[in-house]
Amino acid sequence: MKITDIRLGMLTIPLKTPFKTALRTVQQIEDVVVMIETDTGHIGYGEAPATAVITGDIHGSIIDAIKSVLKPKLVGQQIADLNHIIRLIQGAIMKNYSAKAAVEMAVYDLFAQLYQAPLYKILGGGVPKITTDITISVDYIDKMVADSLSAIDRGFETLKVKVGKDIGVDIERVKAIYAAVAGKALIRLDANQGWTAKEAVYALRKLEDAGVRLELVEQPVKAYDLEGLKYITERVHTPVMADESSFGPREVIELIKMRAADIINIKLMKTGGIANAIKIADICSFYDMQCMIGCMLEGSISVAAAVHVAVAKSDVITKIDLDGPSLCAFDPVTSSVSFNDADITIGNAPGLGITAIDGLKMLS
C-alpha cells in the first residue's frame, strides 16, 4: 500500500451553543480534513482545527504545511513503513503540530486498514467503549447551572466547567454548580490559563473550605509558568492537571521532574499526532502519573483517532474529555466510532472506519 496523493478539504459544523472559555468564544467548528490516497484504493483520514490561541495554528498554516512540506515527503512512501513515515512527518517542519497530527492520524488509519483491524487493536487492544465528560462554557451563573443540569439529564456524569474570567465570580459559579449537581456528577475545573498562581490557590482553598470537592483543576496559570503550576500543586488538595504546559514528551518529563502537576492532559493537536501521544502515556505510566485525553474544538474524525488511543492506553489514560462531537449540532461523518452523548464506542471496521463525510468542501 503506497501513498499516491494527499488531498485536503474544509468541514464546517455549527455548535449547539457557543463555546466560551477564558481565551475565546466559538460558534462553529471549522476543520481541515486530510485524505491520504493509496495505490490500493484505500483512503486514510485526518483532521485538524485552527486553534491559534493555544497551538498557534491557523487554517492557512495547516494547509500550507501539508501541501508544501509534508505531502512532498510522503507521496511514494509505503504505509507498511510506519515508523519511517512518522519520522518523516515529525522531522519535516518545526512545530505545526496540528498539521502533523492530521496527516499522522491518516497514516495510522491506513496502517490499521493494511492489517485489517480497528486502530485500537493495532495500538495494543482494549475494551472499545469509553465515557466522556462534557464542557460547560463560562457564562452567567444561572446559565451555567442550567447547562449543567441539562448535561446530567443527557446522561453525563462528569462536567468540565470553564472558569478563569473573574476570580470572585468564578468561585460563586463553582459553588452554585456544585450545589446543584453534588451527588449527580463530578466537576472538573478548567481555567484555561486565566488565573495567577496566588489567585488559583486562593480560589481552590476557598472552594475546598466550603466543602466543594473537585475532581481536578486544569491549567490554572499561563502555559509557560511551570513554577506557578508547581506553587499551586504544593498548596491545594485538588489535583492539578497540566494542559497547555504539556505539548510533547520533553515538557511532560520536565513537569514530572519538577513535580509541578498531578495529571497530564494529552491532546493530539498538541503532541503532533498519535506517536507522541503514546510516548507521553508510556512516560506517565512509568512514573505512575494519570493522564486525561482531550481535544480542541474538533469534529469526529480527529476525536475518533483520540478515542482509539484512549482505549489502547486505558491503563494510564483514566480520564476522558472527548466531547467535541457532542457539542456539535450534528455529526456529518459516518464512521465506526459511535458518539452517543457521554458514551463512545468503537465498531469492528478497519482503521478509523470512516465511510462518508457530508458537506466536505474540497480544496484545490
Instruction: Write out the catalytic residue numbers.
Output: 162, 267
At residue 359, the pLDDT reads 97
| Residue 202 pLDDT grade (very low, low, confident, very high; cuts 50, 70, 90) | very high
Confidence of residue 177 (pLDDT cuts 50, 70, 90): very high
Is there a binding annotation on residue 147? no
Least-confidence region, from 15-19, 40-44, 330-334? 15-19
Q: What's the pTM value of the predicted model, to 2 decimals?
A: 0.98
Task: Please identify which residue in the block is written with the cell numbers 498562581.
Answer: 197
CATH of domain 121-357: 3.20.20.120
Question: Is 297 labelled a binding residue?
Answer: yes
User: Do 75 and 107 form a contact (C-beta atoms < 8 A)?
Assistant: no
Q: Is 135 annotated as a binding residue?
A: yes
| pLDDT for 248 beyond 80 | yes
What is the rounded average pLDDT of the residues 198-213?
98
**CA 192, CA 162: separation in Å to the nearest integer?**
8
Confidence of residue 20 (pLDDT cuts 50, 70, 90): confident
Give 181-192 pLDDT, tens digit per residue.
Answer: 999 999 999 999
Say if residue 114 carries a ligand binding annotation. Answer: no
Nearest CA-CA partner of 304 in 272, 279, 334, 264? 334
One fold for 2-116 and 121-357: no
Residue with grid cell 498554516, as numbered in its chain = 61
| DSSP structure string for 313-346 | TTTTEEEEE--HHHHBS---EE-SEEEETTEEEE
290-294 and 263-267 strand pairing = parallel
pLDDT for 22 beyond 80:
no
According to the annotation, is 323 in a ligand binding site? yes
The CATH architecture to which 2-116 belongs is 2-Layer Sandwich (3.30)
Average pLDDT, the chain: 97
* Cell numbers representing residue 175 in the block: 459553588
Distance CA 329, CA 157 (A): 21
Mean pLDDT computed over 127-142: 97
For 279-303, letters b (16+ CB in 10 Å) and e give ebbebbeeeebbbbbbbbbbbbbbb
Per the CB < 8 A criterion, the answer to whether 133 and 158 are in contact is yes
Which amino acid does the sequence have at 143? K
109 assigned to a ligand binding site? no
Q: Is residue 107 pLDDT above 80, yes or no?
A: yes
> What ranges do the domains of the chain cover?
2-116, 121-357
pLDDT tens digits along 315-342: 999 999 999 999 999 999 999 999 999 9
